[in-house]
Amino acid sequence: MSVEITSRDAENTRWDFVVIGSGTAGADAAVRAAQLGLKVLLIERDRNRLGGTCVNVGCVPTKKLLYIVDHYYELSKYLVNEGLSTNMKLDIKAMFEAKDRLINQIIAWYMFRVFPSWGVKVLIGEARLESPRSIKVGDSVIEARNILIATGSRPKLPPIKGIEQGLRRGFAITSDDFFLLDSIPESVLIIGGGAIGVELGTLLYKLGSRVTIVEVMDRLLPTFPDPELGNYLAGKVMKEMYGIDIKVSTSVTEIDPDNGLVRLSNGESLKVNKVLIAVGREPNTEGLNLEGVGVEVRNGAITVDDHSRTNVPSIYAAGDVTGKYMLASVAKVQGIVAAENAASLNSRIDYSLIPMVVFSDPEIASVGTIANKDDPKYIVTKMPNIINYRVIAYNKPYGWVKIIAERVSGKIIGFHMIGPWASELVNMAAMAIRKGLTLGEVKEWVVAHPVFSELLIDALELAAGSNVYLPRR
């Protein structure tokens, strides 16, 4: 590949910006730095992980599989009764191959189009800091004016009896292993009811698995600010619609691969075909010699400020390795901020409004403040999605949109939604919040109809007291 160089070649160049890790944070930072005229080297330790977690085992493959599985599910559940006849068969191997083609397409886009066009060079090898301005790869020492650590994260393994044996035997798998499956297990117990557990649980259910989710906290999606979202998803959707068994305030005490059993803190023992571990991720900080060069690490993550700077002036960090949000959306901006600062700009990331999304069905999304409906300082309204014509035409009559606004100013300050395309609407809501939009302004606008994004507009109208689709209360 034309962008690839050897460590010997890399040694003979004085680089402005060397990036360790080719994931979202690293790749985006590399391109941005090159756009700003810096001489950039991107180092990735694993050729099969070019593009990092998001592209290989995260955002991209999950969305591709959800896309295929959603069509299968909608056809077999609804559309067979609405004029479509089908002898559909789901070919798991072909489905996973489609996912792999997409991943290869994205990697090729970067390696053959984006990187060469901006002059970013790529080196395959494990990087280790030698000093604040040099990196060792194999025997080569590579000099850099500035360094970005973007080494990402890996699935966290909880200290459960039998987990290592379970993983060795393939009875227990992580989200990374999920993408290597060649058949769909008949029954799966998922440890962890966060975004990844819920997303993969939805996928597995739609593929025909019997799914149980075990969550140690007292609700699904415990990191989401509005508890109603996780509770609605657990009750109305997962339990009632899908028949997924959700066990909250429960932990797994033992994984027993010999007997295909999982033991729980409530005394139950469940027989399952696979255990999927989805209890979060931990930053990749080992083997980098962070201590040797004095980079501060707190709770296993590299400490950074809003400029993506570590405590060592020539070293930046971005993405999951900073342990901040563990989202590609955040990793991208952190990386770009690091690149711009390495090019002597003064950029910073605004952590005040981070859209949070779960690609369940229906989707969940959240941004901004949450408030209690009895608090007189705020207007808190919840609009059922069933009033939207597109929603009912598309057989998605569930969920709601919650709006929080300041009572005196009318400013929109929070959006929390469960429903179709919530992942799209949340960015519109974030823009409205950022721009200080008020409820009064929105009701004067003409918007396209019938579209899913009217869910946001109609919910804002409800908060303004002018929604005309709901009966009088």
Query: Does residue 25 belong to the site contacting ligand FAD (CB under 6 A)?
Result: yes
Burial 358-385 (b: 16+ CB within 10 A, else e): bbbbbbbbbbbbbbeeeeeebbbbebbb
Interatomic CA distance for residues 82 and 84, integer angstroms? 6
**At 196, phi and psi to the nearest 5?**
-70, -45
Cβ 224 vs Cβ 200: under 8 Å: no
Count of chain residues binding ligand FAD (CB under 6 A):
38
Interface with ligand FAD includes 212 (CB under 6 A)? no
Give min distance, CB of 418 to ligand FAD, in A: 16
Per CB under 6 A, does 10 bind ligand FAD? no
For residue 353 the two structure tokens come to 């409004």
CA 434, CA 369: separation in Å to the nearest integer?
12
Q: Is 449 noted as a catalytic residue in this protein?
A: yes
The residue within the footprint of ligand FAD, chosen from 16, 44, 454, 458 (CB under 6 A), is 44
Considering only residues 202, 250, 284, 385, which one is a binding residue for ligand FAD as defined by CB under 6 A?
284
Residue closer to ligand FAD, measured from CB, 23 or 414: 23
Contacting residue, 7, 24, 308, 360, with ligand FAD by CB under 6 A = 24
Residue 197's nearest CA partner among 174, 169, 218, 228 is 174
Q: Which residue from 448, 455, 393 is spatially nearest to 422, judged by alpha carbons?
A: 455
- Is 221:199 a contact under the CB 8 Å cutoff? no
Closer residue to ligand FAD, CB minimum distance, 111 or 462: 111
**Nearest CB to ligand FAD, comparing residues 87 and 352:** 352
Q: Judge whether 28 and 34 are in contact, CB under 8 Å.
A: no
Q: Measured from the CB atom, is 342 or 387 closer to ligand FAD?
A: 342
The beta strands (E) that lie in 257-372 are given as: 261-264, 269-271, 274-277, 281-283, 297-298, 301-302, 315-317, 356-358, 363-368
The rounded distance, in Å, linking the Cα atoms of 231 and 208 is: 23
| Span of 70-78, 314-322, 338-346, 437-445 interacting with ligand FAD by CB under 6 A | 314-322
> Which of these segments, 65-73, 156-164, 237-245, 315-323, binds ligand FAD (CB under 6 A)?
315-323
**Least distance from C-beta 155 to ligand FAD, angstroms?**
7
List 134, 165, 329, 347, residue binding ligand FAD (CB under 6 A): 329
* Distance, CA of 143 to CA of 139 (rounded, Å): 13
CB of 333 to ligand FAD, least distance (A): 11
Residues 57-96 that bind ligand FAD (CB under 6 A): 57-59, 62
**Binding of ligand FAD at residue 49 (CB under 6 A)?**
yes
Query: Which residues, listed in sequence order, are joined to residue 161 by a DSSP beta bridge?
Result: 254
3-class secondary-structure state, position 91? coil
CB nearer to ligand FAD: give 308 or 341.
308
Contact of 219 with 248, CB cutoff 8 Å = yes
Contacts with ligand FAD by CB under 6 A lie at: 20-26, 43-46, 49, 52-54, 57-59, 62, 126-127, 150-153, 175, 196, 284, 287-288, 319-321, 326-329, 331
By annotation, the residues acting in catalysis are 449
